[in-house]
Structure formats: C-alpha cells, structure tokens
Chains A and B, each alone.
Chain A
Amino acid sequence: MSVPQAIFWVMAVLAVLGGLGVVASRQPIRSVLSLVAVMLSLSVIFLELSAQFVFAVQVIVYAGAVMVLFLFVVALLGPMRERPTTHLRFQWGLSILVAVVFGGFVYALLQGVGFRAPEANVAIDTLGTVEQIGTGLFTTYLYPFELTSILLLVAAVGAIYLSRGGRTASEVHRREEEEDRSA
C-alpha cells in the first residue's frame, strides 16, 4: 500500500465515522461538528485528487464559514432533543431498508463500471491550480459563475426578509387578537 492509498484509507474511515456521527448524534451541535470532521477529511482527499483550490475553499468557506453559520443557529435556538414520537414508527425501519437497498443498487452499479480514458493533453500536475480555476471561471464559465453570484444575492435577500423583526410569537398572537376584536 502506497502512501497516498494509506492517507485515503485513513481519511475515508474518518469521514465515515463522521458521517455516522452526523446521523446518530443526539444533540444537533454534535451533528454539526461531525459534519465539520467529514468535510475536513474530504478536503484532504480533494487535495490528493489534485484539487488544490477546492481544498482551500472547502476548508475556509465550507467548513469554516457555512458550518459556523450552522453552529450559530444551533446556539441561537438552544439545545433540542428529539423526544420519542408516536408518529411514523414504521418509517425508521423502512428508511434503513430503503437506504440499504439504495446502497446495494449503487454498489451493483459500480461493479463492472467502465472508465473513459483521461484527456491526454492535460497533465494531472497542473490540474486544479488557482490559475487554471481562475481561467476556467472567468472565461468559459463566466456566465454560470455570474448566475451563481445572483443566486447568492437572492439567497441573502431572502434570508433578510425571512428573519426581519416584528414577527415574534407573542406579537403574532397579539395581532390575531386585535383582528378578532375588530371583526
């Protein structure tokens, strides 16, 4: 086993453990932190696969910024434990079954999968450098890139609209009462 393979295995195990943590943690904050672990291990694999820039983005923006947003929300809303529920008991088993079948299907698909030949004129060494990414984003993919920026803008506006003040539970209650009185 070569060094890169060893690194991959270690990171893969870490990622799967992290994934289990995401699903199985009782407290949301642990799920979020497990996801950060998954992301970090994946970023290493990205680096192995010569995606240097994406690696940086994954660590800084994704694991750094986005997950911090999650943490922030969790902190804002406080700890929430899932209470035992009477609804949809069957769903638990059914979900596991569906997931296993799904995984089985994909595994079956992977058997005998054929790979196409890589593009010969591109060297793997230069793939994924900042220069290449920049050229790609600002020439061929300028249009989708700008569209993504608009998407972010829309998301920001939407988030601001949704979280604007004046709609707390007590206030809504009060307004409903006022409407009842006037009606």
Chain B
Amino acid sequence: MPDYGQIQVGSGTLDARLVLGLAVVLFVLGAVGVLIRRNPIVILVCIELMLNAANLTLIMFAAQLHNLEGQLFTLMTMTVAAAEAVVGLAILVDIFRVRDVDDVDQLSELRG
C-alpha cells in the first residue's frame, strides 16, 4: 500500500504531515495572539494568521487529492478574510474616532 501522504512536488516529494504540522503551529500562534494581545489591530492580524494557516491546509489537501476544490475554496476564504478585515478595521476606526481606546479590555460596556 503506497503512502498517499507523500505529495509529488516537482522531482521530489513532500510529506503532507509536515505541511499540516506547519499549519497547526501557525494556527496555534494566531490563537495565542488573539488570546493574549490587547491591541485590537494586532488581534485582527492574528486572525489573519489563523486564516492563512487554514488556507495552507486547504492548498495542501488540494495537491494531495489532486482536487481543485481546495484551491477554489482558498480563494473564497481570502475574499471573506478581506471583507472581514475591511469591516473590522472600519469598526476599529470608528471606535477610535469616538473614544480614546488602546486596549480591548476597555471595551467592556456589555458586561452583564
């Protein structure tokens, strides 16, 4: 039984597990960033990082399965990421315009 985890890359091969491992590392880094950073812009950036990690897995599986759908879906993800960035940044700009905030912890008016 051949090892389907080996993706053919040019003359050689690339182990899919390695790529997945890289994606996990980047995703966890992004998650940690969202959890511990308090600067709203940095939080957005970390979210982008997580999205990129997800994109990496999609691309990897597209190559591993010889299936185009992963790549197409990556394009959609990028679009969503762009939309999210636009709206998120717009909200940030709006908040900063009305109030002097430099920390998401200060945006806790909805406390129960």
Contacts and interface: CB of A to CB of B under 8 A. Distances in A.
B28 A122 contact: no
B41 A28 contact: yes
B36 A91 contact: yes
Contacts, number: 268
B56 A132 contact: no
Contact of A70 (B29, B45, B87, B97): B45
Q: For the complex of A and B, list the 4 residue pairs with the smallest distance between their C-beta atoms, beginning with the closest.
A: A2-B12, A95-B35, A155-B83, A19-B29
Interface of B: 3-5, 7-14, 16-22, 24-33, 35-39, 41-42, 44-46, 48-49, 52, 55-56, 59-60, 62-69, 71-72, 74-76, 78-87, 89-94, 96-100, 102-103, 105
7 contacts: A4-B10, A22-B33, A53-B71, A128-B71, A136-B69, A152-B82, A155-B87
Interface of A: 2-5, 8, 12, 15-16, 19-20, 22-23, 25, 28, 31-32, 35, 38-39, 42, 45-46, 48-51, 53-54, 57-58, 61-62, 65-66, 69-70, 73-74, 76-77, 80-83, 85, 87-88, 91-92, 95-96, 98-100, 102-103, 106-107, 110, 113, 115-120, 122-124, 127-128, 132-133, 136-137, 141, 144-145, 148, 151-152, 154-156, 158-159, 162-163, 167-169, 172
